[in-house]
Chains A and B, each alone.
Chain A
């Protein structure tokens, strides 16, 4: 099945900096989800987006559902060391609702104190 194109693959930033990452697809999605995964653990849902153009925040995290419905963006403001982890996007769409979730390969974030 088609996977999403997520970039960048990795980021090394200084504490306090802002972070941006994105996911793109050749297909239209009805839902975009963003997850964070820490080493050896399962992904934790951060933000869910359901409408094209929607902008949703969760603390220092802000995510947007692209107008074309083929992309989504996640921003983290004023990063802190505990932001370290892998951030995954996931898109849900198409006819087969229950098994049509596609995942990006992840953005590995490292924050230097």
Chain B
């Protein structure tokens, strides 16, 4: 089955710790995205990558970092510099010239 997987589903961390969220896709998509979702708001773009070894900041990149060493994988690190990290994080991918983004199941991060 082709799709996007995110792990873990739920993640708890103490304030001041970095944490890495996993995103893997086997759709052979070139572009991958990370979004943050907060209650009552639309999705906000954190980082995106159009191709391996390249990525760009989105609207709210501060306090986050990413890597794209493999086409299938686009991990997101939430650093201690992110002031309000508790949120639902969504990974998406897009293939070729299509505009259609397909989402993973999400990771809910809680930082206390």
A and B physically associate? yes
Determine how close the nearest CB of chain A comes to the CB of B7; give it in whole angstroms.
13
A42 touches B41 (CB 8 A): no
B31 touches A3 (CB 8 A): no
Chain B residues, CB < 8 A from A7: none
B90 touches A33 (CB 8 A): no
Task: Identify which of A48, A92, A102 contacts B42 (C-beta below 8 A).
Answer: A102
B106 touches A42 (CB 8 A): yes
A44 touches B103 (CB 8 A): yes
Residues facing B in A1-19 (CB within 8 A) are 1, 3-4, 6, 9
A103 touches B42 (CB 8 A): yes
User: Is A66 interfacial (CB-CB < 8 Å)?
Assistant: no
Chain A residues, CB < 8 A from B103: 35, 42-44
Residues of A within 8 A of B (CB-CB), count: 29
B90 touches A42 (CB 8 A): yes
Chain B residues, CB < 8 A from A48: 99-100
B42 touches A101 (CB 8 A): no
A92 touches B108 (CB 8 A): no
Q: What CA separation (Å) do A44 and B58 show in the bound complex? A: 22
Task: Identify which of B31, B42, B59 contacts A104 (C-beta below 8 A).
Answer: B42
Q: What CA separation (Å) do A99 and B108 show in the bound complex? A: 23
Beyond the given pairs A3-B42, A43-B103, A50-B99, 7 more chain A to chain B contacts, judged by CB atoms under 8 angstroms and listed by A's residue number, are A42-B106, A88-B42, A88-B43, A90-B43, A99-B45, A101-B99, A103-B43
